[in-house]
Structure 1
Amino acid sequence: MLALIPVSRLMAGNIADPIKWILTKECTLKVNGSTNINKFSCIIPEYARPDTLLFYRKKNEPLQLSGSLSLDVQNFDCHNPVMTSDLRKTLKAKIYPRIIIHFLNLSKYPDPDIKEGVLKGAVTIELAGTTKRFEVDYRYITLANGNLRLIGTKQVNFSDFNISPPRKLGGMIKTNNELVVEFLLTMKLNTQ
């Protein structure tokens, strides 16, 4: 699912031709949280769709991005069948089967001559029928094969998406509102 910048904006001004990066199947999404008794980690272990992110360079402005990651909520695995089922139910997977992360911008283009670095950027996350914008901290790694890995992390709350954290055993087990979301994007440059 790719959202392109309108042609009128491209024609109107100083946005150069985009740099295209193809998302590989090594992309993952991890959610870490806790209850009043323990911690949990749930993951969508791979991304099977070959989507493209477009990077638009513009002088003295943040790097504009276009593209998204659309993930199936049913692919979440919490390494515990009850926890996995509870998370899917809490995220309303039957009504809203996808989590969609739209990439909006980065503070700068990752320097391919630097093996590792940090960036900031903005995304919107669509989850359980609600869309919210977030500022994200990224680490990037330039891999030996020339691919780029972006690791974005952001603390979010169930309440950001109008979701009540799950409770079990008559409310004795309570899931905390806070979650740390980590998405790992592995991309290869599209040279065509």
Structure 2
Amino acid sequence: MRILLLIGLILFSAGSQERKELVITQQKIQVSGYTSVGKFNCDFSKVGLADTLRFNSGEVKKGLEFKIPVKHFSCGNFLLNNDFRSTLKAEDFPFAHVRVANFREKSGKIFYHLSLDLVGKKLEFPDLMLERSPKGLSGKLILNFELLNLSPPSKFGGLVKVEDQLDLEILLGS
């Protein structure tokens, strides 16, 4: 009977251990926004990584850090790319720094800490939630231009305006 109990405990702890780790092989950051003529998406992705996330770990780990060259964001065409880079002041701030850390699982949901350094503005978001998907984990955050000390761009004498809200999505793929 004791042997059965011991085997059951080992199997149960091995199954729960698998849920506490995730190997990350892809990082993707997507910024989406809306204009008076439609939606735009600009993204940056990095594939071929191998890093392990541990949830509820007592060990000190720096988390995952992305140092993203703003010029490497792709928005679909060179006009949008140039507008996006100009808006984010790529000449003055050539890199966006994103750090995700302190992963913890509570009631089946995963929470994390996000640090964002963009256009010289450092922002901290200590308790964001990640969602599980077949592709890995994804988290969403809504930013606005005012929070980043930026003005929403407009073109053609104000005929095309960008709305104040930007959607930021982080994908940690496995």
Question: What CA distance in whole angstroms lies between the structure 1 residues aligned with 2:32 and 2:60?
Answer: 28
SS at match of 1:164: coil
Shift of 1:81: 1.7
TM-score, length of structure 2 as denominator length = 0.73
Shift of 1:124: 1.1
| Partner of residue 16, structure 2 | none
Which of the pair is proportionally richer in helix? 2
Deviations 1:125-168 (A, max 9, x none): 1101111112433112477xxxxx22111111122111111111
Question: What CA distance in whole angstroms lies between the structure 1 residues aligned with 2:159 and 2:150?
Answer: 19
What is the letter of the counterpart of residue 47 of structure 1? K
| Partner of residue 114, structure 2 | 123
Q: Is the 8 A contact 1:35 1:174 kept in 2?
A: yes
Q: Does 1:90 align with 2:118?
A: no
Question: What CA distance in whole angstroms lies between the structure 2 residues aligned with 1:103 and 1:64?
Answer: 13
Residues 11-160 of structure 1 mapped to structure 2, 5 A cutoff: 23-24=24-25, 26-44=26-44, 46-47=45-46, 50=49, 52=51, 55=54, 57-58=57-58, 66-67=62-63, 68-108=65-105, 118-134=109-125, 135-141=127-133, 149-160=136-147
Cα RMSD for the two superposed structures? 2.9
Deviations 1:6-63 (A, max 9, x none): xxxxxxxxxxxxx987643x3211111101221111111x2268585664624xxxx9
Select 1:177's aligned residue among 164, 168, 174. Answer: 164
Structure 1: state its 5+ residue gaps: 1-18, 112-116, 144-148, 188-192
Q: Report the structure number with the largest CA radius of gyration.
A: 2
Q: Is the 8 A contact 2:24 2:53 kept in 1?
A: no
Stretches (4+) displaced over 3 A: 19-23, 48-56
TM-score, length of structure 1 as denominator length = 0.67
Which of the pair is proportionally richer in strand? 2
What is the letter of the counterpart of residue 32 of structure 1? S
